[in-house]
Amino acid sequence: MKTSGLLNSMSGGATRKASRATGLLAMIAMTALLSSPAAEISLAPKTGQRYALVPGVVIDCSPASTRAYIGSPSIAVLPNGDYVASHDFFGPGSSNNRTAVFRSGDRGKLWKKVAEIEGQWWSTLFVHRAALYLLGTSREYGDVVIRRSRDEGETWTTPTNQATGRLRDDGQYHCAPTPLLEHRGRLWRGIERREPPTGWGVNFRAGMMSARVDADLIDSASWTFSNFLPGDTNWLGGGFGGWLEGNAVATRDGRLLDILRVDTPGCPEKAALVQISSDGRVAVLDTPQRFIDFPGGAKKFTIRYDAASEHYWSLATVTESLPRGSAAVKRPAGIRNTLALTCSSDLIRWEVRRILLHHPDTLSHGFQYVDWLFDGDDLIAVCRTAFDDQGGQRAQFPRRQFPHLPPVCQIPLPEARRLQTFRIKSGLTRRLCFHPERTAPLPD
C-alpha cells in the first residue's frame, strides 16, 4: 500500500475513535496539533482507500504483511523551500540496505516519491551549499557512505570507492538521523562503531566525524574521525546497557559535545555527554556531568539550538516510569507512546515543555525516532509511529499510561507503523499550528 498527500483536520472536543482498523502503515505525515486537552481527529480517505485516524499527510506506508517496516525518518529543506524526507526499511521482510526519498513542493501537503536507493541505511538528509546529501551506512552495520544530489533528490552519486562517497570501508558502523552541525568552520556528525562485532548497544563505541565546510564531502580524504570510545557496563551503578545515536551539539562556550542516547534498566532516562576535541580527533568522557537526566534519553532524539529563544530543543519519546505486571516491558527503551517537546538552557537540566502526542496503550502504539528542523518560524518534523495492522497483526510495543500529563491530544489510534511530519511554531514554543493561519496558544 502506497499513499501520498493526505491531510487531516483537528478541532476541540472529545476524541473520536476510528470506525475500523486499517493496515499496518509506515508513513510520513504533516500533522495538525491544537492545544485542547483532547481533540477530534479525522483524516479524509483517498479514493478507494481508508485510513486510521492519524494526524498528518500520508507519504508512504508499508503493510505488516510485507514484514518490512519503515525506520530512520529524516527531513531537509531545499534552497527553493521544498521539503525532502527519507526513510529506510527494516525487519525480516527487508534487505536492511534500502532508503526511499520523497519531495514536497507545497510545504508538506502533497508528497512524491523521487528515489529509492539500495546500499543506503540509517541515514541523515542535509543540505549544504545548495546540494542535498544522504549520510549513513551502506547497510546494517555497514560502511560509512555519503551520496550527493544536485537535482532535488531524484538522482544520487554512487559511493563505489573512497573518492565517490565510501568514507570508511571497514564496516560495523552504526548511526541514525541525527544533526549535521556546522560549527567553527566544520560540519560535525555523531557516529558509532560496533566492536567487537556482536550484539546491540553494549559493544557500541561513541565517536564523531567531521569535515571542513568548504571540502568535497564525497571524498573520504575530507573527513576526520575521532577515536571510538567504548562504554563500560559498570557505569550508572551497573545499569549502563550501551550508548548510541549521538547528537553533535555546540555548547554556549563553543565546546563540542556528542550527546548520546543511553540504554538503562529504569528511570529517570539518561543521556551521555562525550567531549570532542576542537580538531575532531579525540573523544573523551571527562565533562563535569558525564551522564544527565534526559526525558526520552533511552530512545533516539534530536537536539537543535534556537537562537531566538536561546534554548536547546528536542522532540523526544519520554517515559516517566516503568509499568508493572508480567506483560510489561522492563526497560524504558521499549516504552514509546508519548512524544514531548523538551528544552534546556544549558544542556544539563532538561524539562518537558509540552506533551505533543500520547496514547495510553504502549504495547502496540509508539511515536518515535523523530527528526526535525527549524523552517523560519516553524518547526517541522518526521516521526515513525506504530498502530494496528489491517489484518489484525500488531507491532508489539509495551504498555504505559500518563494519566496526569495534559497532552495536546490523546489519540486512540489502531496500531500501525507510520512515519509522519508535523509543524509547530518555534521561538518560545507558545503556539502549535495546523496551518499557519490557524493557531492555538500554548499555556505558559
Asked which of 38-52, 270-284, 362-376, 380-394 is least confident by mean pLDDT, the reply is: 38-52
Q: Is the pLDDT of residue 34 over 80?
A: no
User: What pLDDT was estimated at residue 42?
Assistant: 28
- Show the CA angle centred on residue 21, arms to residues 19 and 22, nearest 5°: 120
Residue 427 has pLDDT above 70, yes or no: no
Span 40-58, mean pLDDT? 43
> What are phi and psi for residue 398, nearest 5 degrees?
-70, 170
- What's residue 1's pLDDT? 27
Rounded to an integer, the average pLDDT of 364-390 is: 80
385 falls in which pLDDT band (50, 70, 90)? confident
Q: Provide mean pLDDT across the span 247-257.
A: 97
Query: In the predicted model, is pLDDT for residue 40 greater than 50?
Result: no
pLDDT at 38: 28
Q: What average pLDDT does the segment 50-66 reach?
A: 65
pLDDT of residue 228: 98
* 237 CB neighbour count, 10 Å cutoff: 8
Render pLDDT for 291-339 as a digit per residue (tens, 0 to 9): 999 999 999 999 999 998 899 999 999 998 887 765 566 799 999 989 9
Dist CA 129 CA 33 (whole Å): 33
**Domains of the chain and CATH, by start:** 8-441 (2.120.10.10)
For residues 197-201, average pLDDT: 95
Average pLDDT over residues 196-222: 97
What pLDDT is attached to residue 53?
A: 55
Of the two residues 50 and 7, the one the predictor is more confident about is 50
- Quick one: which of 306, 279, 293 has its CA closest to 211? 279
Report how far residue 177's alpha carbon sits from residue 124's, in angstroms, rounded to the nearest whole number. Answer: 4
3-state secondary structure of 244: strand
Most confident among 162-176, 314-328, 359-373 (mean pLDDT): 162-176
Residue 2 has pLDDT above 50, yes or no: no
110 or 281, higher pLDDT: 281
Residue 392 has pLDDT above 80, yes or no: no
Mean pLDDT of 336-362: 91
Higher pLDDT, 362 or 340: 340
Residue 326 has what pLDDT? Answer: 52
Average pLDDT over residues 424-439: 36
37: burial class by Cβ within 10 Å (0-12, 13-18, 19+)? exposed
pLDDT of residue 424: 56
For residue 157 the three cell numbers come to 552519486
Whether residue 357 is predicted with pLDDT greater than 70 in this model: the reply is yes
User: Mean pLDDT in the chain?
Assistant: 78
- Spatial distance between the Cα atoms of 190 and 209, rounded to a whole number of angstroms: 6
